[in-house]
Amino acid sequence: MRVVRTWNGVLTMQVTDPVCQRSIPLETVEAHREFLGWSYFFCSAQCVRRFDQRPEKYIDRQQGGPPAHIAQP
């Protein structure tokens, strides 16, 4: 999760969908899931369905945990 300044100077929280890698404003998140103690945010129902089918696919196995761009609860 990161803070981004928009074109009109407003600060907004941005998250990255682990499935499609899109950066999305937190207030427009379509869905979220908790997996192994981490929060994952999604831009669409399609992305959350793909995650639900194989969540382990989106975990960084080299680091032993979720990708660094995923916010910890």
Q: Can you give the pLDDT at residue 67?
A: 54
What pLDDT score was predicted for residue 62?
38
Q: Which residues span the domain enclosing 36?
A: 2-58
Spatial distance between the Cα atoms of 23 and 43, rounded to a whole number of angstroms: 9
Is 68 part of any domain? no
Position 64 in a domain:
no
Which has more pLDDT, 4 or 39?
39
**pLDDT tens digits for range 19-57:** 999 999 998 999 999 988 888 999 999 999 999 999 988
Residue 70 inside a domain? The answer is no
pLDDT of residue 19: 93
> At residue 68, does pLDDT exceed 70?
no
Residue 63 lies in a domain: no
Assigned domain for 38 exists: yes
- Structure confidence at residue 65 (pLDDT): 54
Number of domains in the chain: 1
Q: In which element (H, E) is residue 39 found?
A: strand 38-42
